[in-house]
Structure 1
Amino acid sequence: MVTGLITALIASICYGSASVLEAVAARRAEGLKVFTQPLYLMGLGLDGVAWVASLVALQFLTLFTVQALIAGSLIVTVLLAKMVFSTRLGTSTWWAMGLLVAGLVVIALATGEQPATGAPRLLAPVLGAVMLLLTVALLVLYRRRVPLAMSILAGLAASVSALAARGLELGGSLWQILMQPLLWVLCVAGVVAMASYTRALEHGSVGAMTAVFTVIEVVVPGVAGMMLLGDASRPGWEVAKFVAIALSLLACVWLAKQPGADPVHEAQSTHEDEEKMAGRGT
């Protein structure tokens, strides 16, 4: 279980750092050009590390636990924005971060070992059908300026990715792993989530889009994990865990609305200040 907690923490740090890089890159270029931005590629690399770490974590912990811990990446985003862009953090922001940390500690204490039961046989075809619908939705909506819809789409795709990762069996040979349909569902879901979230960042507030994305990617796979995969908490910790998850999500939404959670806004403000200073000097 300790291995799962450590790898989930690594995933959270990498995701939070990647959000800063990708958000800035998303406003420097639109459409497919964003994928050639160096900052975006660096963020994508961190996303890859986080993705692998989350896969490992899901082999030891329940979906609700892993997704809630990964949601703590907002703290990393806010603190990085403060360091890089000299963002001022208000008292309420520090309280929200403290609440989120406390909630994550309770979640870690309340977490149970991942049950040994395998994934239902229908999990792969059902998730595959859902991903087909989400992929079609991405193709239809990509050229439109609908950031909220894209953020919801990204959250749903990330939920499918988490469920596929939870059902994936990594105990066999490489060939056996590659032959599992859930692996390919997971890969497609990851691409759709990445493309949708990036598009949402191009036209929407980073804080608001991140809040929507975070809530969906925690709640949807967490509930599905309990209903379909037998995920559970430690005996006697059920109420504490769900209260902690609720408080953590509220803290995430609050943090996402703060200026420090919007690195793009901070970068633009810094750039404008530099231009004003340059204008005064001429």
Structure 2
Amino acid sequence: MDDADRLADPSMIEFIRRIRDPLARMQMEHQFAVDEVLTKVSILRREFLHLHRYNPIEHVGSRVKSTPSILDKVLRRGIELSPEAIRAGITDIAGVRITCSFIADTYRILDTLTAQADVRVVTIKDYIADPKPNGYKSLHAILEIPVFLTTGPVPTIVEVQIRTIAMDFWASLEHKIYYKYEGAVPAHLTADLSDAAEVAAQLDRRMEHLHQEVRTATPPSDDAVAIDVLDEKLLRRIRERIRHQQRGNE
């Protein structure tokens, strides 16, 4: 069937009419849910920087599946071609990936994010503690986020992946190899990927150890840091105010 015949097919035209607007709305809702998660992550990052002088988050990325990508996955999984079935059967339409410096940070971010009152945890898969057979490591959390529209709140699913820099580098390479070979990866490359996963794990452990040594070293005094940002003139005024308050309390 050529393009003209396909477009003239009454059943195809009816399907497009039936699915187009609900699918567009679904993608819009999932984009809003991604925006909500990104806002939460941004607030966490800023809090860590301001209160703890440490940022556990190196990079944050996001995406919402395109219409062809959604429909391709629906067909591969044998899901009914209806908006309701698609929403219920595909949990990774919206995705957020958080890359952290160290393994401990991945769990810390996951715990902090999932503890928020408006986040409902659907499932969590810990591929760091229990890697996939090919060596893949990451934390996967399926979360439900309320998206507030004019018609009211819409509970929307977002898949959040949290991993270290080393895990992310390995996963990116693995994805490119599997894409190039369309899943039929030669045995020697599969073995090399498995070896590389172990090397990445060793790097994570060594960097975690170094990080712990640095963190346990004597940090600068909080008082010294606070005073350091004040100029001499302002310090004098503060000292005068303190003395004045002390005399008033005598």
Q: TM-score per shorter chain, which class?
A: under 0.3
TM-score, length-scaled by structure 1 = 0.23
Higher strand share: 2
Higher helix share: 1
TM-score, length-scaled by structure 2 = 0.25
